[in-house]
Amino acid sequence: MNLNPNANMLKKYFAIPALVGFIILASCSNRSRLFPGYSVTKSGIHFQLITIGDSSKPAEVGNYVTAIIAYRTITDSLFFIGVRQFQLTEPQYEGSIDECFLLLTTGDSASFYILAEPFFTKTLETSLPRFIKPGDFMRVDIKILEIKSEEDFQKEMEAFMSWINDFGDYEKVILKQYLEGQKIDVQPTESGLYIIHQIKTQRPEIAVGDTVTIHYEGRFLNGKLFDSTRKRKEPFQFVYGQKWQVIPGLEEAIGKMREGEKAMLIVPSHLAFGKQGNSNGMIPAFTSVIFELEILEVKKGLRQ
């Protein structure tokens, strides 16, 4: 993999004390006029390193990365934050978010400004949301939790699956018992999702590119709460159709709902947190979950 000179500079920067690093950073890269305190790569990414990890080897194409990612508008309004694990691929274009990950190593955290329009249209393959204008930058904050080679990732998955495969059949039994116990006779969708509508409206259908604001509460089948936007008093807003935003079961349900509607969802693990569970270990592998979902607001995308 060929990194640009700024990336090579950053690798050296990671390996030395922060004060010396900032001196080298200031002298070896262009300073941002748009964002004071940031430097600029040749591809136009504005960056500022926040914390330095223990490793000196940056991520490479093909690595599996686990990271905390936050997206903000140019006015610093947060519109997404979450932990995601994914495999790094070659940058699709100059200045893409992929380049940001390739500048970092385990334990690093950094702030980046990238152009918003190609991020949405090329990386996420969706339309630009209404709250961002063409030509605007967006801020991306990244904290690298773990970097694994593809070989190490596959070995861990094989070892994990060697003892967990039986859990899939166990989940089916537990889910069947729950449905029978609750006398739920709603037929699942083709994917296996159960949607129990509580409030329905006649408003327009939600389409890819719409900005959707929701409240949700996530529970285990035993009723124990594991997540709630209501308790946090923070509705979740995202652009429908984006990657890395919500679990597949929620995305499917939202696509079948309208503004003002409420529903209870019973989500099998393959539409929730899968064979691995969630990243912080709170939700185990092969675990069906329940979501109480309310569509608070839908703003149609600019291209609708």
- DSSP labels, 101-138: HHT--TT-EEEEEEEHHHIIIIIS-SPPPTTS-TT-EE
Do residues 279 and 85 make contact, with C-beta atoms less than 8 angstroms apart?
Answer: yes
DSSP 52-86: --S------TT-EEEEEEEEE-TT--EEEEEEEEE
Which 3 state secondary structure label does DSSP give 273?
coil
pLDDT at residue 297 in the model: 96
pLDDT at 228: 94
Please report where in the chains the tokens 């861990």 appear, as a residue.
156
Residue 51 CB neighbours (<10 A) = 11
Residue 254 parent element (H or E): helix 248-255
The confidence score (pLDDT) of residue 9 equals: 41
Euclidean distance between the first and final Cα of the chain, in Å? 39
The Cα–Cα gap between 287 and 276 comes to 10
The pLDDT assigned to 159 comes to 64
pLDDT, residue 152, reads 87
pLDDT at position 274 is 85
Ordered by where they begin, the domains of the chain are 5-151 (3.10.50.40), 165-299 (3.10.50.40)
Token pair of 233 as six digits: 């008093």
Divide the 304 residues of the chain into consecutive groups of 10 and give the mean pLDDT of each group.
Answer: 39 38 45 89 94 88 93 91 88 94 95 96 86 94 94 76 61 87 91 95 92 95 92 91 86 96 95 81 87 95 58
